[in-house]
Chains A and B, each alone.
Chain A
């Protein structure tokens, strides 16, 4: 009669459960991996469609993507829009690290004359009802950026009204729009110095 110590038996059972449960998770991961990637790509493509008019470009913009390091050393993705191989616009991820509740993820579209085509908030944790007016669903504040650019003359105007700038702040929430305005401005200035249509590390290689 085989005599197994109760502790060994318990360990074996526990190990078996660990194997089965992780196996199930791994299986689900394998089965959903492609769908998740597809959903993420759709979400990006949808936002890009809001920012860059569809008749402006004819490449697969979501795939024409490189990874760059922004001013704060964060890895950001750059999507390039081309019309018959000619650069027409870039859509950049922009991170405002100094939101009221942490970082705010933005997408900024810039044309080749360094003018903003549009800005959208992708992800944020700002206070509902106050800071969340940066979402296009809640308010059209974010559309005010369209058509603007940063020049030596208007540098100072790139701030919220409370700081002497040209952007409205929200009642009860100045920190959120201040963070967004700052991030968009930094992105514009940064983008002017970069050759964003050059070859680079493509997004698929990012891990």
Chain B
């Protein structure tokens, strides 16, 4: 397994920010009531993660160890503000729906976690790729959660796709069934917790089988779990 494959494997499955590291659960649980909301927040997070990983990796040799955390925070906060302004300008309706959760990406531990645990120790291309994979891992879980909750709660899928993809997408949504009364449990936060728990259980159930499939039994190695904080040097 070369380093790119290793990074993909870690980000998408083995060390998935949502299913394994359990980072960024607040926005994850709060906005996943529809697939489109989930996609919007997922893309914003992905973009910030790639941007912050690249920036942190570029400046990693210039910043003294003592001030690295404030610098990371500044880089992340300004990137998020930029994303927020861009979304406000170009995806206005989606921005209205996601509201407070865009600025909250700043506090998504997955981002500072990757800056600290990976980007500050690796070269730019690996850091960027790690951002892409970790962000995609997060995005996939968000999307799965959003799709399941939307189908269970409203009987639709991709309702409001035009908020991201423009007018052409206004008839993309599928109506699977039209419930007389929405299934509230799925739409409200408790449903998010329950379905998230089920997703994690499912991941754990097939963990060994998929690991065997991807890595193969012989080359199986002990993979270190990502630490959000480093040990003091």
Instruction: Please list the residues of chain A having a beta carbon within 8 angstroms of any beta carbon in chain B.
Output: 6, 9-10, 13-14, 17-18, 21-22, 24-25, 28-29, 32, 35-36, 39-40, 42-43, 123, 127-130, 171
Contacts and interface: CB of A to CB of B under 8 A. Distances in A.
Contacts of B188: 127-129
Given A21-B77, A28-B81, A14 B67 contact: yes
Contact of B71 (A17, A24, A123, A129): A17
B92 A40 contact: yes
Interface stretch (B19-27, B58-66, B218-226): B58-66
B153 interface: yes
Given A36-B92, A129-B153, 16 more contacts: A9-B64, A13-B62, A14-B71, A17-B63, A21-B78, A25-B81, A28-B85, A29-B85, A32-B86, A32-B88, A36-B85, A39-B89, A39-B90, A40-B92, A128-B33, A128-B182
A118 to B, nearest CB: 20
Contacts of A10: 64, 66-67
A32 B78 contact: no
B3 interface: no
Contacts of A129: 153, 182, 184, 187-188
A128 B184 CA distance: 8
A24 B78 contact: yes
Interface residues of B, number: 29
A14 B70 contact: yes
Nearest to B184: A129
B2 interface: no
A130 B188 CA distance: 10
Contacts of A35: 89-90
A32 B92 CA distance: 12
A-B pairs with the 5 shortest C-beta distances?
A21-B78, A35-B89, A39-B92, A129-B182, A32-B89
A176 to B, nearest CB: 14
B96 interface: yes
Interface in B40-59: 59
Main secondary structure of the interface of A (DSSP, over half): helix
A123 B96 contact: yes
Which among A10, A24, A43 has the greatest number of chain B C-beta atoms within 10 A?
Answer: A10
A6 B66 CA distance: 10
Contact of A17 (B74, B89, B153): B74
A24 B187 contact: no
27 contacts: A6-B64, A6-B66, A10-B67, A13-B62, A13-B64, A13-B71, A14-B70, A14-B71, A17-B59, A17-B63, A17-B74, A18-B74, A21-B75, A22-B78, A24-B82, A25-B78, A32-B85, A32-B86, A36-B85, A36-B92, A39-B88, A39-B92, A40-B92, A127-B188, A128-B187, A129-B153, A129-B188
A32 B89 CA distance: 6
Contacts of B81: 25, 28
A17 B64 CA distance: 13
Contacts of B66: 6, 10
B88 A36 contact: yes
Contacts of A39: 88-90, 92
Contacts of B78: 21-22, 24-25
B63 A13 contact: yes
Contacts of B182: 128-129
Contacts of B70: 14
Interface string B171-195: 0000000000110100110000000
A141 B41 CA distance: 30
Contacts of A9: 64
A36 B89 contact: yes
B116 to A, nearest CB: 16
A35 to B, nearest CB: 4
